[in-house]
Amino acid sequence: MIGRRQLLMGAAALPFAKAALAASPMGVAPGPIEASWSSLAAHYRVPDWFRDAKFGIWAHWGPQSVPAQGDWYGRFMYMQGHPMYAHHLRAYGHPADSGFMEILNRWKGELWNPEALVQRYKAAGARYFMALGCHHDNLDCYDSRYHPWNSLRVGPKRDVVGEFAQAARAAGLKFGVSNHASHAWHWFQTAYGYDPEGPRQGERYDAFRLTKADGKGKWWDGLDPQLLYTGPHIVPPPGLDSIVAMNRFHDETSGQWVEHGPPMDAGYAARWLLRQVDMVAKYRPDIVYMDNYALPFGPIGLEAAADYYNRAVDWHGATDVVLTAKKLLPHQSAGLVDDVERGFVSEIREQPWQTCTCIGDWFYNEARLRDRSYVPAELVIQRLADVVSKNGNLLLSVPQPGDGSLDAEAARIVDAIGQWNAANGEAIFGSRPWRRFGEGPTVPEAGMQNEGAAKPFTAQDVRYTRNGGRLYALFLKAPDGPATLTALPPAAGRVERATLMDGRPLSFRQDAIGLRLELPPGLGVVPVVRLDGRGLA
């Protein structure tokens, strides 16, 4: 969480931010909501559209998709000894000669068709769609007023966020955008390093030496590399002579996940606020994803939240939008929606929440296709049922290669999710939690980044939802024969009819042990039983 030191650093940057906004054509929106946690909480209510939506799909797509090596390429390609450094050396050359900037120039998106992608995701059941606005690599994937390193100047030379927004709204989906840029200043400091070993030992990488003047006559003519790489804030000192020593330096300094701005550079947070306000004003997103523990930069993050909510009041007459962040304290969760990245909650939460996860790596990794290690549709559907039963939404990232397409396996998984949602959607969309989320032996441990350690669900693991006066039992694995729902003895309500979602009636008996169901074989992935009766929902 943000501590006193970070708050003070954010407060130090606030005058710079306000001065910049006052001098710009894009100021912080006025309105009833002030830049404080108490004001956010007093004015915010999670909109019904989000409570009903349950499922969104995310195009976490940007230049780091080009090397097809997975996540955090822009950081790891500058760390000698890392597999991504080795890949970069083979594919593109030494990072002193050919750095991450050259990856931007290779991002063309030549097969990117936002309309076709969004239509596919809508068919999969997504009720909202999210585009990547800016990752830690500090490239704005939109028509950015305040940051020249953007996707209209370099890369595909297209407004990625804008075209996705148009496609999503044409398809009737809510639209969102994610902002990860607050961490770029420390994430990118590896680009100011050097090889600690080998024939080019001590030679600084491109970020350390390139200036705006060096671009004359080149593809990046007129652009300042220091604005992309964020400036030398935590530069490795000379004389580190081993990979172990260099990695230790990076891990202990720039590798820390912090929510304050760079020391001695209050202008960084001010520029972040300008970019955030510009993005929100320009695209009017229904949901904004902040990749932060609470909000970044102390008071400046609160300024950004208040701006977004005040704009929503102007657009809709109410704060009919969603702003997500992570690891929220109770007083913070009253004014934001909690996002649990690649993790679980263990009980029904009173306030709606979201988990974000991916069928592979966040950025495209060709090894996932080669090794057949994508998350299969069945596991995604299990996660959806578990999350929804606990009052949450699932935001699923579907990775795309640099050309903007979907590979055949990712497309197959998306389509399979759509087939399940088409048959069972009434148990998901518009539903609400029941009195208890479910039953069975498998209750994943609450926390972030822990889904890889979760045990497989069994046929005894059941999740419950309610919708339109009915109760739904979602079996996370199909039973091989009769099943008993121990949460449903007569005291829990009288079951009068039990049917499969295709309308087939089921024989059942309800007694003190629970509801005993006779289930046919071959039910497939996550079968759902619809229950009608008295006092159930």
Tell me, what CATH number does 476's domain have?
A: 2.60.40.1180
Residue 311 within any structural domain of the chain:
yes
Structure-model confidence comparison of residues 347 and 22, the more confident one: 347
Strand duo 287-293 + 174-179: pairing: parallel
pLDDT of the residue at 2: 33
Residue 448 within any structural domain of the chain:
no
Residue 212 within any structural domain of the chain:
no
Considering the domain architecture, whether residues 307 and 166 belong to the same structural domain is answered as: yes
Q: Closest Cα partner for 272 from 264, 282, 262?
A: 262
- Predicted model pTM: 0.95
pLDDT digits (tens, 9 = 90+) for 212-237: 999 999 999 999 999 999 999 999 99
The count of domains in the chain is 2
Question: At residue 24, does pLDDT exceed 80?
Answer: no
pLDDT of the residue at 26: 56
Residue 405 within any structural domain of the chain:
yes
Separation CA 476–CA 529 (nearest Å):
12
pLDDT of the residue at 348: 98
Residue 432 within any structural domain of the chain:
no
Task: Name, in order, each residue with C-beta under 8 angstroms of 251's C-beta and a sequence gap of 6 or more.
Answer: none
**Residue 56 belongs to domain with CATH number:** 3.20.20.80
Is residue 306 exposed (0-12), middle (13-18) or buried (19+ Cβ within 10 Å)?
A: buried
Separation CA 6–CA 10 (nearest Å):
6
Question: At residue 520, does pLDDT exceed 90?
Answer: yes
Question: At residue 20, does pLDDT exceed 80?
Answer: no
Considering the domain architecture, whether residues 285 and 386 belong to the same structural domain is answered as: yes
pLDDT of the residue at 22: 62
Per-residue confidence band for 8, with pLDDT thresholds at 50, 70 and 90: very low
pLDDT digits (tens, 9 = 90+) for 50-104: 999 999 999 999 999 999 999 999 999 999 999 999 999 999 999 999 999 999 9
Strand duo 462-467 + 470-475: pairing: antiparallel
Strand, coil or helix: what is 140?
Answer: strand
Question: At residue 465, does pLDDT exceed 80?
Answer: yes
Strand duo 174-179 + 128-134: pairing: parallel
Considering the domain architecture, whether residues 270 and 351 belong to the same structural domain is answered as: yes
Considering the domain architecture, whether residues 126 and 167 belong to the same structural domain is answered as: yes
Question: At residue 12, does pLDDT exceed 80?
Answer: no
Q: Where does a domain end: 404, 427, 450?
A: 427
Per-residue confidence band for 356, with pLDDT thresholds at 50, 70 and 90: very high
Considering the domain architecture, whether residues 498 and 406 belong to the same structural domain is answered as: no
**Unique residue bearing structure tokens 């080149």:** 218
Considering the domain architecture, whether residues 478 and 379 belong to the same structural domain is answered as: no
Residue 31 within any structural domain of the chain:
yes
Considering the domain architecture, whether residues 416 and 505 belong to the same structural domain is answered as: no
Considering the domain architecture, whether residues 418 and 528 belong to the same structural domain is answered as: no
Mean pLDDT of 438-445: 95
Structural domain of 29: 4-68+106-182+264-427
Considering the domain architecture, whether residues 405 and 523 belong to the same structural domain is answered as: no
Q: Closest Cα partner for 281 from 26, 44, 31, 32?
A: 26
Amino acid at 296: P
* Helix or strand (DSSP H, E) at 410: helix 408-424
Per-residue confidence band for 9, with pLDDT thresholds at 50, 70 and 90: very low
Asked if 478 and 523 touch (Cβ cutoff 8 Å), the reply is yes
Mean pLDDT of 521-532: 97
Structure-model confidence comparison of residues 258 and 10, the more confident one: 258
Considering the domain architecture, whether residues 414 and 472 belong to the same structural domain is answered as: no
Question: At residue 3, does pLDDT exceed 70?
Answer: no
Residue 385 within any structural domain of the chain:
yes
Question: At residue 5, does pLDDT exceed 50?
Answer: no
Q: Where does a domain end: 411, 427, 443?
A: 427
Task: Name, in order, each residue with C-beta under 8 angstroms of 359's C-beta and a sequence gap of 6 or more.
Answer: 374, 375, 380, 396, 397, 398, 399, 410, 413
Tokens of 237: 């000192």
Length of the chain: 537
Q: At what angle do helices 266-283 and 160-170 cross, to 10 degrees?
A: 30
Q: Closest Cα partner for 48 from 233, 247, 319?
A: 319
Considering the domain architecture, whether residues 376 and 318 belong to the same structural domain is answered as: yes
Considering the domain architecture, whether residues 390 and 484 belong to the same structural domain is answered as: no
Residue 524 within any structural domain of the chain:
yes
Q: Where does a domain end: 407, 427, 447?
A: 427
pLDDT digits (tens, 9 = 90+) for 446-460: 999 999 999 999 999
